[in-house]
Structure 1
Amino acid sequence: MIRLSRTLSSRWFAAVGAATLFSVLTPVSAAHAVQLSCGQTVTTSVVLTADLLNCPGDGLVVGSGGITINLNGHTVDGVGLGVGIRNNGFGNITITNSNTIPARVQQFDYGVRLNPGTSGNIIEKLAIQNNEFSGVELNSTHTNNQVRNNLIERQAHSAVTITGGSGHNVIFDNTITNNQGQGVSVQKSANNRLEGNRITGSGGVGLALEGSSGNTLLANTVGSSRDAAITLRLGSNDNLVQSNSSTQSADAGMIVADSTGNRLLSNTLHGNGDSGIVLQGAHGTTVTGNDVSRNTGGIELSSSNNNLIQSNIASNTTGHGITLGLSLNNNLQLNQANHNGSGGIHIVGDAAPGTGNHLVRNTTNANKGDGIFVSKAAHTLQGNTARDNKSWGIFVDPGNVDGGGNQAGNNAQAAQCMRVVCTP
């Protein structure tokens, strides 16, 4: 039996079901050592005995379901055209490497491409390199395909692309590095799982969802992208983004734009070129337990309503810890916004009565600006703490609501708070 080199999370295992998962993992027919030629259609399980070099079109084509293609340490090499290994809809295929020598699929338009109707395929233990459009593409695939334990590097565009309504697939434990486009791109596809991938050096976004809903992004590491580390945009709704990390991306750690109902939980996003988390036209988002310290900003909302921002660490940034602009009905609770280069929490924009933001029990200490600054009306402040700031502890414009219980002390402004009552 072929086994995963890491263990998928227990929740995913329970959701798929043990019987279904292991039926996918078990090859159907015995493999035979054969010498294949470029463009050959494979209809039985095979173990390669030689390289396929300078293939003028496709490398290998899957021609039957339930088979294993074992590259056995050999290279499938093209001239910049076709697909290294192409499957036009056959189910329960395993493409693998049993040898300690890397098995390379390189220099095609696509390294491995699963086309419409494909289900139950496994792509594992390959080195997929120097292809044009995608190292691996799942194009309108059906369900339960797995791309796992591969090295996918130096594509001219994206490393992994999931597109055309492909659903219920797993991209797991891959090393994805130095691709000129996006690391992983999910386009108009739902209910896929991206877990435990290491994505570095992408020329675009490290991990991008566009028009894609119900996906799970879990425990991926994204570093040194030339754009944002992770993006959800253009109607990417109801996704779970949990326990991912990013460092040193040129743009934000995470951007959610024009999307609703996403959950951003327990992510660690440090040292990025923009804010740790940016919401732009994002509504109904849960942002809980994230560490967005040491970015140019912590959490930034723009024209984003009805979000829960709770128990995050937005400290030690060069700008504001948490910023809201033209955003309504957001709940900010139990956040830490300390030691920032500007203010702790900064809110701008009018709100009609009953539509303002609620700031409850946040801690905003030792910032170089105000602990909390709220312009315009009508926002509510209750039970917040603001100490040791270089300007006001809490400063609010007229028309805001003092919910009581705010505390301030040792701030640079002797009055400590303006237009709310603060106790020491």
Structure 2
Amino acid sequence: MGAGALFGVLAPGQTAHATVLSCGQTVTTSVVLSAGLVNCPGDGLVIGAAGITVDLNGHTVDGVGLGAGIRNNGFANVTVTNSAAAPGRVEQFDYGVRLNAGTAGNIVEKLTIQNNEFSGVELNATLSNNQVRNNIIERQSHRGVTIIGGAGTNAIANNTITSNQGQGIFVQQSAGNRLEGNRITGSGGAGLALEGASGNTLLTNTVGISSDAAISIQLGSNNNLVQGNASTQSQDAGMNVSNSTGNRLISNTLQGSGDSGIVLQASHGSTITGNDVSLNTGGIELSSSNNNLIQSNIASNTTGDGISLGLSLNNTVRENQANQNKSRGIHVTGDAAAGAGNQLVRNTTSANQGDGIYVSKAAHTLQGNIARDNKSWGVHVDLRNIDGGGNRASGNGQAGQCLRVVCTP
């Protein structure tokens, strides 16, 4: 069809009839494609009115590597969809679908968005309540989905996001967005990445085979909820949190990572509960991270330590399972001033190749922990640590079972 396409117009009170739109033309009424747009030299379609629907109807909007396949510069309540069984494709632009400043209440759904340059879908300074859902977003030269410029309270849900050369989903300086139920794999960067992005929700996404961390939260990404996500085969950590505070990491399953399942670097005041970080290089790893709660996690069967705290203060490590690790169950390094130590309470550390618990510096508190059948000590602590009582140990490789704390069988 070249640069023009036939559409059926669905204006209220009218029956559909054929019309011809050209590449880059502004659409001001609801339309159904009757043919594709091919080799558009700039934008494919430009939204020009609120409340309309653009239905690709199994056809392709195709470009030459410039502009946006579908661009909306601020019109509300627009739906871009595909009603046909055949794929409705948007391909070979700078951006597949681009929602710009002021856009609210848009729906982008059921499309196949592929082979674009910068992003399959970009939400740039949009207002709120836009939904990107049930799309296939694949093979972009950079990112699958991008949310930037203060775009807030949008939902990215149930998309299949594969083989993009950058991040699968990237959120920067934007708050209150919900990323839910997306299937992300083959990313050249992180699968899900937050950068200076606070108050977002990452829920029940699955991430596989990413060249960076499966989930990356960094540079002041504070007070986010990350719950019920799963990852496998990331080349870096399952989840990497750096220079960010107050995040809640709850009930995620992060396995098969090239680094630890969860890594916190200079990140404070977070809650890490109910996660399964077994079968990684390490389980949970804190570096210079303070005032965090690490509770009821499974940090077992790693090739390193189950839980490690380095130069980190005032953390509570409670009721975790750190068993059958190739090194130690729990490892704490770094001195703490009186009252600033970490609290190790009621953890189970059994059948590890090293110590069950090893605390190399003072002054940290150990209370009610269980350490059985470890290859070395059950509990091994340096001088000046605090024995909170109730620690138990048996069957460990060192006959004394515990060093510098009292353990009962």
CA distance in 2, matches of 1:291, 1:211: 26
* Partner residue, 1:297: 282
1:278-315 Cα distance to aligned partner (Å, 9 max, x none)? 00001000000000000000000000000000000000
Give the C-alpha shift of residue 36 in structure 1: 2.3
Q: Does 1:93 align with 2:78?
A: yes
Q: Does 1:173 align with 2:128?
A: no
CA distance in 2, matches of 1:29, 1:149: 27
2:233 to 245, 248, 253: 248
Name the CA shift for 1:71/1:390 in 2 (closer, same or farther; >3 Å): same
1:353 to 330, 335, 338: 338
CA distance in 1, matches of 2:212, 2:300: 23
Whether the aligned pair in 1 keeps the contact of 2:213 and 2:240 (CA below 8 Å) is yes
Give the C-alpha shift of residue 266 in structure 1: 0.1
CA distance in 1, matches of 2:67, 2:351: 59
Runs (4+) of structure 1 moved beyond 2 Å?
27-36
Query: Where does 1:120-159 land on structure 2 (aligned, <5 Å)?
Result: 120-159=105-144
Give the C-alpha shift of residue 81 in structure 1: 0.4
CA distance in 2, matches of 1:265, 1:29: 48
Name the CA shift for 1:385/1:90 in 2 (closer, same or farther; >3 Å): same
What is the SS of the residue equivalent to 1:354? coil
Q: Which amino acid aligns with 1:133?
A: F
Query: Where does 1:372-387 land on structure 2 (aligned, <5 Å)?
Result: 372-387=357-372
Give the C-alpha shift of residue 107 in structure 1: 0.2
Name the CA shift for 1:29/1:297 in 2 (closer, same or farther; >3 Å): farther
Q: Which amino acid aligns with 1:287?
A: I
Give the C-alpha shift of residue 376 in structure 1: 1.2
1:217 to 178, 193, 202: 202
Whether the aligned pair in 2 keeps the contact of 1:35 and 1:50 (CA below 8 Å) is no
Q: Does 1:261 align with 2:267?
A: no
1:108 to 90, 93, 96: 93
What is the SS of the residue equivalent to 2:264? strand
Q: Which amino acid aligns with 2:207?
A: V
1:255-286 Cα distance to aligned partner (Å, 9 max, x none)? 11000000000000011110000000010000
CA distance in 1, matches of 2:240, 2:138: 24
Whether the aligned pair in 2 keeps the contact of 1:152 and 1:159 (CA below 8 Å) is yes
* Partner residue, 2:224: 239
Q: Which amino acid aligns with 1:281?
A: A
CA distance in 2, matches of 1:63, 1:87: 7
Give the C-alpha shift of residue 32 in structure 1: 3.8
Deviates more, 1:27-36 or 1:82-91: 27-36
% identical aligned pairs: 75
Aligned CA-pair RMSD: 1.1
Whether the aligned pair in 1 keeps the contact of 2:11 and 2:29 (CA below 8 Å) is no
CA distance in 2, matches of 1:246, 1:161: 20
CA distance in 2, matches of 1:376, 1:235: 30
Whether the aligned pair in 2 keeps the contact of 1:32 and 1:45 (CA below 8 Å) is no
CA distance in 2, matches of 1:242, 1:179: 24
Whether the aligned pair in 1 keeps the contact of 2:167 and 2:191 (CA below 8 Å) is yes
Q: Does 1:77 align with 2:52?
A: no
What is the SS of the residue equivalent to 1:276? strand
Gaps of 5+ in 2: 1-9
1:54 to 35, 39, 46: 39
Give the C-alpha shift of residue 29 in structure 1: 5.0
Gaps of 5+ in 1: 1-26
1:6-36 Cα distance to aligned partner (Å, 9 max, x none)? xxxxxxxxxxxxxxxxxxxxx9957845442
Query: Where does 1:267-286 land on structure 2 (aligned, <5 Å)?
Result: 267-286=252-271
CA distance in 2, matches of 1:97, 1:328: 53
Structure (1/2) with the larger strand percentage:
2
What is the SS of the residue equivalent to 1:212? coil
What is the SS of the residue equivalent to 1:364? strand
* Partner residue, 1:21: none
* Partner residue, 1:401: 386
Q: TM-score, with normalisation over the residues of structure 2?
A: 0.96
1:166-187 Cα distance to aligned partner (Å, 9 max, x none)? 0000000000000000000000
What is the SS of the residue equivalent to 1:298? strand
Give the C-alpha shift of residue 100 in structure 1: 0.2
2:324 to 322, 336, 339: 339
Name the CA shift for 1:32/1:114 in 2 (closer, same or farther; >3 Å): farther
CA distance in 2, matches of 1:35, 1:189: 38
What is the SS of the residue equivalent to 1:36? strand
CA distance in 1, matches of 2:16, 2:329: 65
Whether the aligned pair in 2 keeps the contact of 1:182 and 1:202 (CA below 8 Å) is yes
CA distance in 1, matches of 2:129, 2:156: 10
1:400-422 Cα distance to aligned partner (Å, 9 max, x none)? 00000000001000000000000
